[in-house]
Structure formats: C-alpha cells, structure tokens
Copies of this chain bind each other. A is one copy, B any other.
Amino acid sequence: MKVYLSGEIHTDWRDQITQGAQHLAVEFSVPVTDHGASDDCGVAILGAEPDKFWHDHKGAKLNAIRTRTAIEAADVVVVRFGDKYKQWNAAFDAGYAAALGKSLIVMHGADHQHALKEVDAAALAVCETPQQVVDMLNYVLTGALPK
C-alpha cells in the first residue's frame, strides 16, 4: 500500500508514522520537508528571480513534480494540519487527492475542527495523532485492532 504524507513540516509526525508502521507493507512518500530547500529550489537550479512571486512560482512548480507524482501513485493520502501558518498547500493536496478518488485521512487538533469541516467531509478518517494513523494502517493491512 502506498501512502503519501502531506502537510505540516515542523514536527516529527512523519517519522512517528513511518517508524510505527515499519513492520507493515507500506511504501511511504513525503514532500521535501527541508523548508529552506523547498522554498529556494526553483531559483537555485533554474536561475534567480528579482520578483518574489516568480521566485516562489519556480520553486512551487518544481516541488509539484514530486508531490503530484506521489499523490497520483498513492492509495492513501494523509494530510496533517498543524497549529501555525496558513497551510493552504495542505488543503490543496487534500482537494487534489479527493478529486482523484484517493482514500483521504486528515489529522488535526480539535481547535481546527470547524475550519476544516469541508476537508474532513471528504475524508475516510479524521484523527489527531500519528499513532492513530499507524493504528489505522495496521488495521487496514492486517485486520488487527490496537490492544
């Protein structure tokens, strides 16, 4: 089963999931989570841009080669919303995955519940912790519930 881990990049939630699920036949893919590299990749490779819009545009498109390929290949897309920032790219990925018919899991704290209601409505599961994602993947693949 192929699982793409989208969204918040400032905590170690991806590590918790990949380590918790290392006994399972899951192939994880993730975006580039080095914030600086992700922001500057476009101009670093394709040439500087004086205008911030195009600086960001080049980078966002280059990152899209990775993220869209990964989402399209995934069976399950997990999207985590954290406490900070706008995280519109996370919601964009969720919409992209939903339109492709991917199984969507959304992870966020209770404080974001109302603001994420449309995203949650497209999900097959809404949870709060990486352990719940591990438990779900374990259940989906082995049929075993957590003890």
Contacts and interface: CB of A to CB of B under 8 A. Distances in A.
Contacts of A100: 99
Contacts of A127: 45-46
A92 B89 contact: no
Interface residues of A, number: 75
A21 interface: no
B45 A145 contact: yes
19 contacts: A1-B69, A46-B125, A46-B136, A51-B51, A60-B117, A62-B136, A64-B122, A65-B103, A65-B105, A65-B136, A69-B103, A87-B88, A89-B119, A91-B91, A91-B92, A92-B94, A97-B99, A99-B99, A99-B100
